Structure 1
């Protein structure tokens, strides 16, 4: 490895960077004066640029050790399958199919402002997602639907429905974005049949540069892409994107000979934090998240706020399972009963809806624990004359953080220096935040 680091790695890195620099002027010329909202007929010189860019990109991958790319099956035409769904997504090397097909992708709007890279990205007409725009998700879905229903005028859209990188040992839950348009899709599976895996890039694995270094130090890297038959949704699947996604995932898993799992990217985030986050009676948050998904509850801020308003209106009055189903606007089902049981600690057929809201907030935003605590205070303060008692604080922190009663008692005593018997997030904000930061 030391010899490769000093010889092969710098040569390959230089050549790959040179290829990207060489591609930039072609991509820039091809995008000058081009409409972002409409697709014009491609003239001769633009077709030449397209071929040149493909050759340059292929040379870049060749320089990285991907000497032969094995292709199985046949890629569908845009009017036959407007959307290509790729899996498993495990590395930034998965960009190879993008450069091979020049299909559009969905990516962050900030990417177009990156020097050099932004110009190359804009060439393939991506669907940009803006983090600063709260309505971005809806706009993105609408744009995907618009392009998907254009009868092949727009380039195909290539989507990795897993939404994150995995280690390729299974297929996690597919996000519904690629399946909402209810148009035929072509499943595409990718493989890296290398003896040594230097490709996989996950949140707990090696960093991006280490992956690049290890891969470029290999004499040869194998890559295989297989285009599966077009999948046309049934009437039921067209109305149910989740069902459509599940069935496509099952076909792709069969082709890959790997299992499927009901876990999603959000569940992975919860698993990372599960040492701190607990539901009552130590029930796993992953189980709660699975039930949330099976009920079809949307993990959105607006939903959290809606549930919290309903919980505040109840003023701490516990609810039975029928009342809980009406609050969630869900039919009474076994899945809903299972969720209800998570919060029915004393097996008395009653639950405090505020505990559900706290857990739901944790599942929706696992990295923003303090926001969940603030939300919990607003729900409990409304019922106790603007304050939270020690018992209520214990319930909040036990649900959100798994904090024991003894630790809560000490925390409450440290915050309630005036010995009022209750604390508020407003009046005791500084003290509360300082103590909570010591827990999270």
Structure 2
């Protein structure tokens, strides 16, 4: 990194030199141009095939090599771990049976509590909430089955008969079994703020244990993916929490969820609302970019952080299957968990604080308490990672792009990013996640020529002769976000198609492509034509043409010969005429 305190000039000026004096302003604008000696054709580096749209190069902020989803103990390593697992296998069988029984008890109690309750939009009646104490007790037993015990749990069980006189119907043997193993291994720091002070709680998300603990501790209303409703047993239990379901990929569903968060947080008759703003689980060593749902209602928020200290077994639910994670948990002597309630974060009404700043202040408080790094990774990056794993990539983490940061500039949807990833992986990236020009052109059905090399050079901003998925994504959306892009697509179709017909024939398409790629043959034109002709009827209709360009924004360069004379500078800037 450059040392900004370095003041000694590289070239000292001789007192007898005749070099003209240079003003201070000129000194501060010295520019050095260095060509990459590895570039096969340096001239391409300075020719922009999208200049007709007023497009300049894009910036790729340095990527971090961090992987927030990596479980660090995927493999069983060491003699101690193997011996411990062998010793704990009989204990694991007992824990599994205990887990199943307590889950069944909680499920039955929840069914009774929900029986005949039709007005799910109103707060749960008190007698039904009291009945849910059985399920909350069962959730604590589930934590016990996973090796998490605490002294406070004994007090909780002792107090239950006083709270609920009918609690004595539970088998005495169950309580006795629990009392045998009450150790203080769930550490708490701080206390939950009263509901009327902080109606919303946000927490980092490391394991499936997190929501089980919060269910037992707070019995909150949670915000969860609508896919959870169909889960056997669990779906029924979380319905009793008056869950707010959301479809992450539906704008209307997200808007409805925000309205429900506002409504329930504003009414003290509802439980407090719990959200995991990261949207997915991590390994606990990083904090993902936050989704805004918890902060839009503009209510005070209490951040809570969970930690899972470990030496031999990482309990985080990252790139590890649920079955393997549960097996490893069952075969530990004990598992540690720490929960810290942080001071309430209040919106700054006097400064008219915007939502992202409110979220940033909360995230900073949580990252500081955890002593971890805030990143721009998001739930979308986890989906990109899973897609790369599904497509059997050697280093799937290289295809994460920090979508949280990219979304702030380009508004890239997760589904669009996944589509581009599939296309990029079909280019056969190497072990470092990079693609060379030959595979790039093969997948895009482009013939090697001056124009196609310029398109590749535009994406290859580091001029290394290879491109990454992040560069491919940024280049595509940098073109797509240009004010003239959509108008250029419309004009391109109008100039390609016959004035009478509402489609482009194969012959008309070939004539246009040859303007930019003179030596293209009929086979190459057919391959490219088929990418635009989505229904395969031998004609490119307008909606197909526009859809193909939206999915492949780099293709707009193919029609630049039609558009060079269709642009002019006006008082409003560069416009299509």
1:119 aligns to what? 236
Displacement after TM superposition at 1:185 (Å): 0.3
Q: Does 1:259 align with 2:366?
A: no
Change (3 A) 1:426 1:98: same
Number of aligned pairs? 344
In the alignment, the residues of structure 1 paired with residue 401 and residue 332 of structure 2 have an alpha-carbon distance, to the nearest angstrom, of 41
Displacement after TM superposition at 1:389 (Å): 6.0
Paired residue secondary structure (1:135):
helix
Paired residue secondary structure (1:33):
coil
Q: Does 1:138 align with 2:255?
A: yes
Displacement after TM superposition at 1:121 (Å): 1.1
Higher relative contact order (CA 8 A, sep 6+): 2
Displacement after TM superposition at 1:62 (Å): 0.5
Change (3 A) 1:298 1:416: closer
2:322 aligns to what? 208
- CA deviation digits over 1:269-307, x for unaligned, max 9? 4567799xxxxxxxx9977956643348474899xxxxx
Correspondence for 2:345 among 190, 210, 231? 231
Q: Does 1:83 align with 2:200?
A: yes
Aligned pairs for 1:351-362 (under 5 A) are 359-360=476-477
Range moving further from structure 2, 30-39 or 215-224: 30-39
- CA deviation digits over 1:72-127, x for unaligned, max 9? 1010122111110001x122122222332111111233433433222211111110
Displacement after TM superposition at 1:356 (Å): 8.9
Aligned pairs for 1:70-219 (under 5 A) are 70-87=187-204, 89-95=205-211, 96-130=213-247, 135-150=252-267, 152-202=268-318, 205-219=319-333
1:12 aligns to what? 95
Range moving further from structure 2, 265-274 or 106-115: 265-274
Structure 2 contact 113–129 (Cα < 8 Å) conserved? no
1:384 aligns to what? 496
Aligned pairs for 1:387-406 (under 5 A) are none
Structure 2 contact 105–135 (Cα < 8 Å) conserved? no
Range moving further from structure 2, 238-247 or 382-391: 382-391
1:416 aligns to what? 526
User: Which has the higher Rg, Structure 1 or Structure 2?
Assistant: 2
Structure 1 contact 104–126 (Cα < 8 Å) conserved? yes
Structure 1 contact 389–423 (Cα < 8 Å) conserved? no
Paired residue secondary structure (2:237):
helix
After TM superposition, the score normalised by the length of structure 2 is 0.52
Structure 2 contact 200–300 (Cα < 8 Å) conserved? yes
In the alignment, the residues of structure 2 paired with residue 237 and residue 18 of structure 1 have an alpha-carbon distance, to the nearest angstrom, of 53
In the alignment, the residues of structure 2 paired with residue 236 and residue 391 of structure 1 have an alpha-carbon distance, to the nearest angstrom, of 59
1:426 aligns to what? 533
In the alignment, the residues of structure 1 paired with residue 236 and residue 529 of structure 2 have an alpha-carbon distance, to the nearest angstrom, of 57
Structure 2 contact 223–275 (Cα < 8 Å) conserved? yes
In the alignment, the residues of structure 2 paired with residue 57 and residue 290 of structure 1 have an alpha-carbon distance, to the nearest angstrom, of 34
Structure 1 contact 343–356 (Cα < 8 Å) conserved? no
Displacement after TM superposition at 1:229 (Å): 0.9
2:121 aligns to what? 37
2:132 aligns to what? 50
* Structure 2 residue ranges without an equivalent (≥5): 1-81, 151-185, 390-397, 417-457, 462-471, 482-487, 498-503, 541-550, 552-577
Change (3 A) 1:192 1:132: closer
Displacement after TM superposition at 1:46 (Å): 3.5
Structure 1 contact 198–211 (Cα < 8 Å) conserved? no
In the alignment, the residues of structure 2 paired with residue 62 and residue 129 of structure 1 have an alpha-carbon distance, to the nearest angstrom, of 31
Change (3 A) 1:26 1:269: closer
Paired residue secondary structure (1:106):
strand
Range moving further from structure 2, 237-246 or 187-196: 237-246
Change (3 A) 1:263 1:430: farther
Structure 1 contact 390–422 (Cα < 8 Å) conserved? no
Displacement after TM superposition at 1:67 (Å): 1.6
Q: Does 1:248 align with 2:331?
A: no
Displacement after TM superposition at 1:5 (Å): 6.0
Structure 1 contact 192–222 (Cα < 8 Å) conserved? yes
In the alignment, the residues of structure 2 paired with residue 123 and residue 427 of structure 1 have an alpha-carbon distance, to the nearest angstrom, of 46
Displacement after TM superposition at 1:237 (Å): 7.5
- CA deviation digits over 1:205-264, x for unaligned, max 9? 221100110111001001111111111111277652111111100011111111211232
Change (3 A) 1:161 1:429: same
RMSD, aligned α-carbons: 4.3
Paired residue secondary structure (1:81):
coil
2:104 aligns to what? 21
In the alignment, the residues of structure 2 paired with residue 264 and residue 214 of structure 1 have an alpha-carbon distance, to the nearest angstrom, of 27
Paired residue secondary structure (2:286):
coil
Aligned pairs for 1:342-381 (under 5 A) are 359-360=476-477
In the alignment, the residues of structure 2 paired with residue 33 and residue 144 of structure 1 have an alpha-carbon distance, to the nearest angstrom, of 25
